[in-house]
Amino acid sequence: MNRTYQTLRLILGDQLNSQHSWLNSVDEGVLYVLMEIRPESLYVTHHIQKIIGIFGAMRQFASELKAQGHPVVYVEIDAAENQHSFENNLNQLIAQYQVTKFEYQLPDEYRLDALLKEYTQTLSIGYAAVDSEHFFTKREDLTTFFQHKKTIVMENFYRSMRRKHHILMDKDKPTGGKWNYDQANRKKLPKKHAMATPFLFEHDVTAIYEAVKAAELPYIGTIDSSYFIWPLNRQEALVLLNDFIDRLLPTFGLYQDAMHSDYWSLYHSRLSFALNVKMLHPLEIVQAAETAYRQSDRIDIAQAEGFIRQILGWREFIRGIYWKEMPHYQTLNMLKAKRPLPAYFWTGRTKMHCMRQSIQQSLSYSYAHHIQRLMITGNFCLLTGINPSEVDQWYLGIYIDAFEWVELPNTRGMSQYADGGIVATKPYGASANYIDKMSNYCQSCYYHKKEKYGERSCPFNSLYWHFLKRHQSNFIKNPRMSMIYRVWNKYAQEDQQLILEQASKYLNNLEQL
Ligand code: FAD
Ligand code: SF4
């Protein structure tokens, strides 16, 4: 006779949380299931390193659970019994093992949340959904926090999080006397700078790569399958965290907004993948940064606060916006942007050096840091009016850390202003002036950073003004933007016309830039 289990527990590919209370003790009556199914690889075209990273980490997680004595079923992408549907695979296991209760952890993605809710309605056995025990906040906390407030401002939420979790606080005062040290950061990388090299893993993932190819899963990007650089289990994620704290945190905030053609991740932590698949808990990262700051003279408050704000503030805020605004959020297009994404987003073949660099490294590493995402590719899509759904799909597919709950408000909201200002108080549009200030890209570009019109004028310059002009009615009353419009009004009419004509030429020839 077949073995039977009372309970079947589903673990999704981004729920690899070995500290979850489910796993505190081994229960012989509980069967865990993890599955690699085609639809999860098809809803957008993912980067090959993202597919391999998730499958690889899931497989290692399942092996660890088995080694601890937990009963586990792991359904591989090419398994004969795999029906490539959560529902069908679960039904099959429930029948096979005569399961009487189904349990799952609350998914972070709206689509999966709806799918699992619907699925449980079809069951004739008991079921329960439990917390994933990952975030500082519950889904609805942000909505409650801003319930009676006129505006939704991240900084207010962040301060409340600092107080509530007693992070970087001395009694009831912020450590160092200030809540936010952003002004002390934002430096360009100096010319002669001894840059720390990124710590990379060297996994051989050829077996998974072959399985993905055999299953004919579509993908973008490149991979060296004998040299996979991302962490695949909690121990490795902790190594990456410790390396970041030790070597990169002392300079994190200072060069947080800098970009450089020789360095693809600079002082960024590259912890987002490990964090988003829940190998690490955000609290342990934040505590590690605070402890390092308190114990070491090498880390000043501006670096520690700058880093902690990203995780305790931005990450939780973004998640709160997602659950507050979904599902209509994914359809918002306040600026009515409708151009298709140019082909060079998939190849990096463009004369714009900043774009080439940001896209090519995304294709090579499945990673770009925040300022490349926001102020290069995102900025370009904003200024040129690319359809936000196409922008979303690109970001959701290409980055190893991209899961809809965090990708969508960052892309559609922060970067494309398609939400009309729910996430950002003003659009993050910028000309070559900003890009040149924060990077070395313009120094070796086909285009001329100072020119606003003319054959080799930097596209960002004329497109910037064209964007502001065509959306004037949306932004002129925004107090953070009125000064920019005053600058525009100081241009001679003839110059204004030449700039706008240049932008129109570029907009009509986007593929050729
Ligand atoms: P670090 O610079 O080292 O920052 C530390 C951590 O802070 C990150 O790992 C991340 O967990 C958190 N963080 C920082 N900024 C944000 C933010 N704006 N929102 C949420 N968390 C933040 N982040 C994702 O995790 N997944 C995405 O799909 C994603 N898409 C983005 C799309 C756009 C257009 C933009 C502008 C930003 C996006 N971000 C996304 C946020 C941010 O760019 C990445 O979290 C960061 O680049 C990851 O690299 P890192 O771990 O080296 O970050
Ligand atoms: Fe980018 Fe313009 Fe600078 Fe070239 S000149 S790198 S296109 S900002």
Distance 376 CA to ligand 2 centre (A): 9
Question: Do 150 and 258 fall within a single domain?
Answer: yes
Question: Do 49 and 114 fall within a single domain?
Answer: yes
Strand partners, 415: none
Question: Do 306 and 445 fall within a single domain?
Answer: no
Structure tokens at 240: 């990456």
The answer as to whether 326 is a domain residue is no
- CB 423 less than 6 A from any atom of ligand 1: no
Distance 402 CA to ligand 1 centre (A): 9
Residue 45 sits in a domain of what CATH number?
Answer: 3.40.50.620
Distance 302 CA to ligand 2 centre (A): 30
Query: What's the domain range around 390?
Result: 343-512
The answer as to whether 223 is a domain residue is no
Domain count within the chain: 3
Question: Do 293 and 356 fall within a single domain?
Answer: no
pLDDT recorded at residue 1 = 54
Question: Do 75 and 197 fall within a single domain?
Answer: no
- CB 314 less than 6 A from any atom of ligand 1: yes
- CB 374 less than 6 A from any atom of ligand 1: yes
Question: Do 81 and 126 fall within a single domain?
Answer: yes
Domain boundary, last residue among 320, 354, 374 = 320
The answer as to whether 215 is a domain residue is no
What atom in ligand 2 is closest to the CA of residue 352? 7
Distance 462 CA to ligand 2 centre (A): 12
Distance 351 CA to ligand 2 centre (A): 9
Distance 370 CA to ligand 1 centre (A): 6
Q: Above pLDDT 90, what percent of the chain?
A: 94
Structure tokens at 400: 């190893």
Residue 492 sits in a domain of what CATH number?
Answer: 1.10.579.10
- Rounded distance, CA 228 to CA 221, Å? 13
* Alpha-helical segments (H) within 122-222: 141-145, 154-165, 206-214
Nearest CA to ligand 2 atom 1: 354
- Rounded distance, CA 396 to CA 460, Å? 24
The answer as to whether 26 is a domain residue is yes
Find the residues whose C-beta lies inside 6 A of ligand 2. Answer: 352-354, 432, 435-436, 441-442, 445, 447, 449, 458-460
Nearest CA to ligand 2 atom 6: 442
Question: Which residue shows structure tokens 């070491």?
Answer: 296
What atom in ligand 1 is closest to the CA of residue 244? 3
Q: What is the dihedral of CA 392, 397, 401, 404, to 10 degrees?
A: 40
Question: Do 303 and 450 fall within a single domain?
Answer: no
Question: Do 150 and 199 fall within a single domain?
Answer: yes
The answer as to whether 107 is a domain residue is yes
Domain boundary, last residue among 130, 150, 182 = 130
Question: Do 259 and 283 fall within a single domain?
Answer: yes
The answer as to whether 371 is a domain residue is yes
What atom in ligand 1 is closest to the CA of residue 319? 20
SS3 322: helix
- Asked whether 253 and 305 are in contact (CB, 8 A), the reply is yes
Least Cα distance to 22 among 35, 4, 10 occurs for: 10
Question: Do 86 and 13 fall within a single domain?
Answer: yes
pLDDT per residue as tens, the chain (513 positions): 579 999 999 999 999 999 999 999 999 999 999 999 999 988 899 999 999 999 999 999 999 999 999 999 999 999 999 999 999 999 999 999 999 999 999 999 999 999 999 999 999 999 999 999 999 999 999 999 999 888 889 999 999 999 999 999 999 999 999 999 988 778 999 988 989 899 999 999 999 999 999 999 999 999 999 999 999 999 999 999 999 999 999 999 999 999 999 999 999 999 999 999 999 999 999 999 999 999 989 999 999 999 999 999 999 999 999 999 999 999 999 999 999 999 999 999 999 999 999 999 999 999 999 999 999 999 999 999 999 999 999 999 999 999 999 999 999 999 999 999 999 999 999 999 999 999 999 999 999 999 999 999 999 999 999 999 999 999 988 988 999 999 999 999 999 999 999 999 999 999 999
Q: Which amino acid is located at 383 in the chain?
A: L
Question: Do 424 and 279 fall within a single domain?
Answer: no
The answer as to whether 136 is a domain residue is no
Residue 238 sits in a domain of what CATH number?
Answer: 1.25.40.80
- CB 58 less than 6 A from any atom of ligand 1: no
CA angle 434, 436, 438 (to 5 degrees): 70
The answer as to whether 157 is a domain residue is yes
What atom in ligand 2 is closest to the CA of residue 449? 5
CB-based contacts of 427, cutoff 8 Å, min separation 6:
382, 417, 467, 471, 475
Question: Do 188 and 126 fall within a single domain?
Answer: no
Nearest CA to ligand 2 atom 5: 449
Domain boundary, last residue among 88, 109, 130 = 130
